[in-house]
Amino acid sequence: MIPSETFHDITPISQDDGPHPVCSIDYPKEFDEAQGYLRAIMRKDERSERALELTALCLRFNPANYTTWWFRRQCLASLSISPSNFESKFTFFGLKFIAKDLMLAAKLGGTNPKNYQVWYHRRNLLEQSFSDIKSASGTDEVGNALELVNEEIEYIATVIAEDAKNYHAWSHRQWILKAINMESKWNAEIEFINGLLEDDVRNNSAWNQRWFVTHRGSKSIPFAIDDARQELSFSICKAEQDPYNESPWKYFVAVIKEQFRLIGTTPEFASLIGVSEKALEETKANFEQESKKDGMECTNLIAAHIDILEIKGDKTSIASAIEFAKLLESRYDPVRKKYWKLRAQQLEVVTK
Amino acid sequence: MLGFFDSPENLIRYSVDTHEIIEWIYTLQTLSHANEPGIAGFKGGTFLGNVQKDEFLYYNQGHLAMTYSALCTLITLGDDLERVDKKGIVKGLQCLQKDDGSFSSLHLGSENDLRFVYCACAISHILNDWSGVDIDRAVQYIQACRTWDGAISLIPGQESHGGSTFCGVASLNLMGRLKQVLDDHDNWRNELVQWCVSRQIEGMQGRTNKLEDTCYSFWIGGTLKILNCDHLLDQKLLRAFVTDCQSDMGGFSKLRDPGRSYYPDLLHSFYSLSWLSFSHTTIHEDDVINNGVHLGSNANGSLTLHPLNCTLGMSSRRIDMYRKGILNSSQIT
């Protein structure tokens, strides 16, 4: 793989695992050779085109070697021509290098979709450009950056299409949305999430993304009450599709809890939680009518009801909550019977 | 856990020399350097080749997860950590902590998240020196990782996950802030416990609506153990799942049907045994596929596992021995 002329002037450095190696790795000969040259090149700190090619070769063999990735970025930065007066906490990479390396990362990422180093490399390539959008420094930069943003969002979507719960893909996507903080992108993301929930209403990653997007990626921007109502409608609607599904019920309760912490003592909240409880009970009733099954089997629905009753906090509600918990314990949720027993006991303490 | 090192016959039969392993680990140590405070620690492997003692290579740096692994392994093998650059490692932690309280793993630069907060906390605990960690900021980061469904994500905003939940809870425990954070924080403890027990199908899933996987018996079982709530799981069902994931070629795989659909691997073997060790110290003969390897079996054919300290993810006995050793040596001086 390495034409011998390319590194004719370099003496490769062997790995030398010492006299008593532990867990020796049986490297393919080509890899060992390539690494030998890389060790020498890195010792020299030669950040050239041939060094760049060499890192690509080594990364094909082991895309998890973070030191090789680091050195590759050193080469890219040295070969890039940063604009005059360039000042940034991020490294500058030339546009053609960004494009080329995004392709390399995509190629390596294809068979390694959960490799931390590959995703980190993408982020490193992009963070300077994305900060251009925020600072809106010059139209050319922003134009290029926006194109990169769109392409990157598209790319992540292809990874999610392969594995709709790829944690790295979602982390990277969240980073972009927050970094650029564009209303149009936040809104488009809701559509994207809705599409995923159509495919699989049980996709908890998509539910999590919905919470993230509707909060604009921040914990300090809770829902206004109208938005809360909308989210409650949305989650109930999805819960109806499959009342056994945990995700929409947890989301439902989370919306209520957030409002409780904000406006829990107000009549608006009393109305909100009243309406929510009714909707939950209706879902249970509809389920029983359509399926001819016992709605208590939908343990996630019942768990949500218990949470709501606990928040309501009045004597009757707590009594109902205890009853439900005891039913889950004794009959309907045997895997968690010890938990429900404890929960009933905790609720009984509340009553006193 | 398996008591392998207790029996000299094992070391002979398998040609294991604990001193050689210890020496090899020490060759991976990177010492602190005057110009670069952040680099002390341990590397993961020898891919940089032999670096001479007086040779300074900027990129010859320790990695936080490897440092954590190295310290645990050295202690497990009975080393007293005398040759460890403790001050250097702790100084390095300072350099790796970000403004938001998280840690990255490498002075060269890496992603930063709760995994490395955990590594930093475990290292600080083992070295008994917290000057490298801004605890208040680390706690803030963990709080920022609290999710809408009551558990802990790897980075703020992300999905609740068994691995990160363990990292968060174990870190709080190590920092001595568990009670303060969970009990001052409006019902978070109860939400956490509920989330954890909700992850049980038969085995444990790592996230809502995802598949079971033996390693989550540790991540989530361990979290519940730290919270003194692991008895709330259906232990019998979980044990049946975990032991079912044993392969007849040895080890555990992440799911049932090992050898056909899934192969056993070290990670899942370690975490399966880990959970078994702190949830059950005795495994019965019918649970364990025994290939005739002498592992200190009891007379009735059962196998005793030495418990794991689940917060640190390492042998309870060994960490205790190490601590006693420190006390003994300080008494001598």
**Three-state SS letters, A296-316:** HHCHHHHHHHHHHHHHHCCHH
Asked if residues A291 and A305 have their Cβ atoms less than 8 Å apart, the reply is: no
Min distance A139 CA to chain B CA atoms (Å)? 30
Q: What is the mean pLDDT of chain B?
A: 89
Report B:56-95 residues touching A (Cβ under 8 A): 57, 59, 63
DSSP state for residue B212 in the 8-state scheme: B
Asked if residues B158 and A171 have their Cβ atoms less than 8 Å apart, the reply is: yes
SS3 B155: coil
Q: Which ipTM score applies to this complex? A: 0.96
Residue B284: its pLDDT value, please? 52
Q: Does B154 touch chain A (CB under 8 A)?
A: yes
DSSP state for residue A92 in the 8-state scheme: P
Are B49 and A116 inside 8 Å of each other by CB? no
**Does the structure show a pLDDT above 60 at A180?**
yes
Are B46 and A204 inside 8 Å of each other by CB? no
A215, closest residue in chain B (CA to CA): B157
* Inter-CA distances, A206 with A191, A264, B209, Å: 11, 28, 11
Return the residue matching tokens 């790796």.
B96
Interface test with A, best of B47, B52, B142 (most A CBs within 10 A): B47
**Does the structure show a pLDDT above 50 at B296?**
no
pLDDT tens readout for residues A29-42: 999 999 999 999 99
Of A171, A219, A334, which is closest to B155 when you measure between CB atoms? A171
pLDDT tens readout for residues B192-247: 999 999 999 999 999 999 999 999 999 999 999 999 999 999 999 999 999 889 88
Asked if residues B208 and A204 have their Cβ atoms less than 8 Å apart, the reply is: yes
Nearest to A119 by CA among A184, A181, A172, A43: A172
Q: Does B263 touch chain A (CB under 8 A)?
A: no
pLDDT tens readout for residues B113-155: 999 999 999 999 999 999 999 999 999 999 999 999 999 999 9
Nearest to A56 by CA among A130, A136, A2: A2
pTM of the model: 0.94
A285 phi and psi, to 5 degrees? -65, -45
Contacts 24+ apart (CB under 8 A), A227-233: A228/A255, A228/A256, A228/A258, A228/A259, A228/A272, A229/A272, A229/A275, A231/A255, A232/A256, A232/A272, A232/A275, A232/A276, A232/A279
A19: enclosing H helix or E strand:
none
Q: Which residue has the higher pLDDT, B10 or A278?
A: A278
Dist CA A186 CA A252 (whole Å): 21
Written as six digits, the tokens of B107 are 């002075």
Query: What single string gives the DSSP state of each residue in A198-246?
Result: HH-TT-HHHHHHHHHHHTTT-TT-PPPHHHHHHHHHHHHHHHHH-TT-H
**Does the structure show a pLDDT above 60 at A167?**
yes
Q: What is the mean pLDDT of chain A?
A: 94
Q: Is B54 exposed, middle or buried (0-12, 13-18, 19+ CB in 10 A)?
A: exposed
Q: Which residue has the higher pLDDT, B33 or A208?
A: A208
pLDDT tens readout for residues A169-179: 999 999 999 99
B285 half-sphere exposure, CB direction, 13 A CA radius: 6
Helix, strand, coil distribution of chain A in percent, nearest 5: 75, 0, 25
Specify which residues B42 forms β-bridges with: B29
Residue B331: its pLDDT value, please? 40
Are B49 and A13 inside 8 Å of each other by CB? yes
Q: Does B234 touch chain A (CB under 8 A)?
A: yes
Are A205 and B59 inside 8 Å of each other by CB? no
Dist CA B132 CA B118 (whole Å): 13
pLDDT tens readout for residues B54-101: 788 999 999 999 999 999 999 999 999 999 999 999 999 999 999 999
Q: Which residue has the higher pLDDT, B90 or B256?
A: B90
Min distance A159 CA to chain B CA atoms (Å)? 17
Cβ-based contacts of A303 with chain B (< 8 Å):
194, 198
